[in-house]
């Protein structure tokens, strides 16, 4: 989070009574990339309200970590510049002017990423009956990668959501869930039946012409 946002939240917390403002749950979904076909993957981070309160969302920090499902180095999949994009649709802030930025205190690496979003327009409610997008993460598949799987998880210490409504605790209660699995797969090879279909069709056509 920008230092200005961080200090503003701290100041709010000092003067505000202990009244929470809504709660939300974050989601990322299991996905897969095809080796030899895709070079860049886009993974959306979603949010959904968990109660009927209006969160009056103002800003948030999201920090994520990428690690192999089995112990070992992250060498087949990595975060890649520009690292995060504003969602093209279903964006939580809709058409309100917002600022996306990467964390200066935790610069991105191949396996860690933290970004901040500041809403400069009207405060918004996080709907309970539908998912909204918070950001689109960019990852690159190494051309030399082999079939493998990775876990994408939220950093609980550095993922924060802030309400802009006064007289309430600015920090919104957030359920970070269990993250998601990203699988790297080879393209399935054609089945033997499909492989034989072309020559069989050619033989049939030649016989018809001969007749």
pLDDT digits (tens, 9 = 90+) for 107-127: 999 999 999 999 999 999 999
208 phi/psi in degrees, rounded to 5: -65, -40
pLDDT digits (tens, 9 = 90+) for 61-74: 999 999 998 877 67
Report which of residues 202 and 135 the model is more confident about.
135
Asked if pLDDT for residue 175 goes beyond 90, the answer is yes
Q: For domain 3-210, say whether CATH 3.10.129.10 is its number.
A: no
Domain extent listing, the chain = 3-210
pLDDT digits (tens, 9 = 90+) for 9-56: 444 443 444 455 579 999 999 998 888 777 889 999 999 999 888 899
Q: What is the DSSP string of 101-139?
A: EE-SSS---SSEEEEEEEE-S--B---SSS-EEEEEEEE
117 phi/psi in degrees, rounded to 5: -130, 130
**Averaged over 164-179, what is the pLDDT?**
86
pLDDT, residue 195, reads 40
pLDDT, residue 174, reads 95
**Averaged over 180-208, what is the pLDDT?**
53
3's tokens: 């230092």
- Angstrom distance (rounded) from CA 191 to CA 104: 50
- Angstrom distance (rounded) from CA 63 to CA 78: 15
Cα–Cα separations (whole angstroms), residue 109 to 90, 158, 160, 198:
28, 15, 20, 48
Q: Over the chain, what is the mean pLDDT?
A: 81
- Angstrom distance (rounded) from CA 140 to CA 173: 32
In 3D space, the residue among 10, 3, 4, 1 whose CA is nearest the CA of residue 170 turns out to be 10
Q: What pTM did the predictor assign?
A: 0.79
The DSSP letter of residue 75 is -
């Amino acid at each position: 989070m920008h230092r200005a946002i961080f200090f503003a939240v701290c100041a709010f917390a000092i003067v505000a009574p202990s009244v929470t403002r809504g709660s939300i749950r974050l989601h990322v979904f299991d996905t897969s990339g095809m080796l030899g076909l895709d070079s860049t993957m886009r993974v959306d981070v979603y949010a959904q309200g968990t109660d009927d309160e209006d969160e009056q969302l103002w800003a948030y920090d999201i920090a994520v970590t990428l690690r192999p499902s089995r112990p070992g180095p992250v060498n087949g999949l990595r975060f890649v510049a520009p690292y995060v994009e504003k969602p093209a649709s279903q964006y939580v802030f809709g058409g309100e002017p917002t600022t996306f930025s990467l964390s200066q205190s935790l610069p991105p690496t191949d396996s860690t990423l933290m970004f901040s979003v500041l809403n400069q327009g009207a405060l918004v409610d996080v709907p309970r009956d539908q998912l909204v997008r918070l950001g689109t993460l960019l990852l690159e598949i190494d051309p030399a990668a082999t079939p493998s799987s990775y876990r994408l998880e939220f950093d609980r210490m550095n993922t924060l959501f802030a309400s802009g409504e006064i007289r309430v605790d600015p920090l919104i209660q957030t359920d970070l869930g269990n993250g998601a699995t990203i699988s790297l797969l080879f393209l399935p090879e054609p089945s033997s039946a499909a492989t034989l279909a072309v020559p069989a069709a050619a033989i049939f056509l030649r016989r018809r012409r001969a007749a």
